[in-house]
Every structure is written in structure tokens, then in C-alpha cells.
């Protein structure tokens, strides 16, 4: 099930539900031995069920720790990047879910069984139950290319409005070092339209070259929050002032 919305945003754990507990105790007739015996057996069965559920939970937690440790051991740098992406996506999903006018959110180039999938399940509670679209394919394979627009800080054209029949792609590159032009290159390679957030026109006062460099590394959740705010209020200045972190405005 995908969250309903007019615009599609493409961005690149395992929920556990404990038993609610035994039923409230009923007043028993002390002379009714057979009935008492039945209730006692039912309570024993309920207790065993809860204990079994807890054992399964502990087993699952150990499995997830082993998976995490294996990922860290194989490539600490890649694990750190995936971990940051997962944390950002958790926040993005939360912002979208709580919005009065949410986007239809999709995750592409993704598999639950991949290293990124393992990391997302570890970092995001209930990730497997997120009401989004999960796609193993790239955006160009999963959606009509004629409707795609890659959001890139290096694009020449500013994004001045959100079109309801357009699918916007947010690149999921997470790195300590800004990869200048990466998202624009991805769009150019497949001849897809690109656009940038209109920070030069509507950004904070004194926005300059240094700020532009910083904005190239805007987290996924910040980009989505800006778009959600604009979609609701149709005011880019308000969207930037409300959602752009101070560290990107200095």
C-alpha cells in the first residue's frame, strides 16, 4: 500500500508485536473443578505462547546484530553511508506520514535482502511495513521516463512549482564529502530532465557560493520537508526558512 498523493517522490525494521496478554480473569465457581482446570490450561498455553514469542524476538535481535557486524566488518565506510541514508529516510518517511498532504513515496534500486535493506530494517522501526512503494528497478525502469525529473543542486533550471503528473527523483547519495554533479550526471546519462531547488531566488538573505556548495549535501529528509512545506503553502521562502538547517545558511 502506498501513501496517496498527487506527486510521486522517488528516494533512494522488522516490526515486532507482542501479545496483548491474557484475557481478563473471570469469576470462577470454586466447585466447578472441570472449568477451573480448563482455564488454568488456557493460561498455561498463553504463557508458553508469550515465552515462545520472546524467544523468537531475542533470536531475531541476535540475527540482526550478526548481520550488522558482518556489514561493518566487510566495509565500514559503506556501512556508515548506508546507516546515514537509513536514518535520513526514517525521518523523511515520518515527515511525509505526518503531513496533511503527503507525497506518494517510492524507494527504487532497492531490495529488502540487500545490505542497504538490512541496514534500513535495523535503523527504522517497522520498516518492512512502511506504506511506500518498494522497487528493485531503477526509476527509469519502474516509471515512465517522460514523467521523471531528477532533483539536482547542479541543474540549470530551478524548480518553481510541483506538477501533479510529474515524478520527482531525489538521489540517495550520502557521503561526508560532497559529490559535486553526481545527481546531474545521472540525469544527463539517461537524458532525463533535471531541476534544482530555487535557493538562489528564494533562499535566505545573503545566499552565496559557499552556501550553494553546502546545499549540494542536503539530507534526503530536509529536501523532502522543503517540498512538503512548499506543496502545502505554495511559498518557497517559507519552505526554506522553516526547514533549511542553520548550518546551511551560514
Tell me if 119 is assigned to some domain: yes
Tell me if 13 is assigned to some domain: yes
Tell me the pLDDT tens digit for each residue of 154-171.
888 999 999 988 999 887
In the chain, how many domains are there?
1
Torsion of CA 213, 216, 217, 223, to 10 degrees: 130
Tell me if 169 is assigned to some domain: yes
Spatial distance between the Cα atoms of 203 and 218, rounded to a whole number of angstroms: 14
Tell me if 38 is assigned to some domain: no
Residue linked to cell 532533483: 151
pLDDT at 222: 93
Q: What is the pTM of this model?
A: 0.68
Q: How far is CA 137 from CA 111, 141, 142, in A?
A: 9, 6, 6
Tell me the pLDDT tens digit for each residue of 88-111.
999 999 999 999 999 999 998 889
CATH of the domain at 154: 3.40.1280.30
Helix axis angle, 76-98 to 115-123, nearest 10°:
50
Tell me if 86 is assigned to some domain: yes
Q: Is 191 left (phi over 0), alpha (psi -120 to 50) or beta?
A: left
Tell me if 25 is assigned to some domain: no
pLDDT at 63: 61
Mean pLDDT by 10 residues, the chain (250 residues): 52 33 38 47 65 76 59 61 90 94 91 88 92 90 90 89 90 52 55 87 74 70 95 95 79
Spatial distance between the Cα atoms of 46 and 40, rounded to a whole number of angstroms: 10
Tell me if 207 is assigned to some domain: yes
Tell me if 45 is assigned to some domain: no
Domain containing residue 179: 9-17+76-248
pLDDT at 176: 45
Amino acid at each position: 500500500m502506498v501513501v496517496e498523493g498527487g506527486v510521486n517522490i522517488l528516494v533512494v525494521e522488522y516490526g515486532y508485536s507482542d501479545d496483548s496478554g491474557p484475557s481478563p480473569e473471570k469469576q470462577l465457581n470454586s466447585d466447578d473443578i472441570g472449568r477451573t482446570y480448563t482455564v488454568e490450561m488456557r493460561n498455561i498455553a498463553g504463557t508458553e505462547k508469550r515465552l515462545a514469542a520472546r524467544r523468537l524476538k531475542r533470536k531475531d535481535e541476535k540475527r540482526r546484530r550478526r548481520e550488522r557486524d558482518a556489514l561493518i566488518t566487510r566495509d565500514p565506510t559503506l556501512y556508515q553511508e548506508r546507516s546515514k541514508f537509513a536514518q535520513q529516510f526514517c525521518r523523511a518517511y515520518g515527515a511525509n506520514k505526518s503531513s496533511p498532504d503527503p507525497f506518494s513515496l517510492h524507494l527504487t534500486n532497492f531490495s529488502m535482502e540487500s545490505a542497504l535493506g538490512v541496514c534500513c530494517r535495523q535503523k527504522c522501526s517497522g520498516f518492512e511495513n512502511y506504506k511506500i512503494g518498494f522497487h528493485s528497478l531503477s526509476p527509469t525502469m519502474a516509471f515512465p521516463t517522460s514523467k521523471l525529473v531528477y532533483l539536482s543542486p547542479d541543474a540549470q533550471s530551478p524548480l518553481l512549482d510541483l506538477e501533479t503528473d510529474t515524478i520527482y527523483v531525489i538521489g540517495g547519495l550520502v557521503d561526508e564529502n560532497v559529490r559535486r554533479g553526481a545527481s546531474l550526471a545521472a540525469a544527463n546519462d539517461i537524458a532525463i530532465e533535471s531541476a534544482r531547488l530555487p535557493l538562489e531566488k528564494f533562499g535566505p538573505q545573503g545566499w552565496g557560493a559557499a552556501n550553494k556548495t553546502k546545499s549540494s549535501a542536503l539530507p534526503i529528509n530536509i529536501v523532502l520537508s522543503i517540498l512538503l512545506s512548499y506543496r502545502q503553502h505554495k511559498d518557497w521562502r517559507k519552505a526554506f526558512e522553516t526547514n533549511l538547517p542553520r548550518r546551511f545558511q551560514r
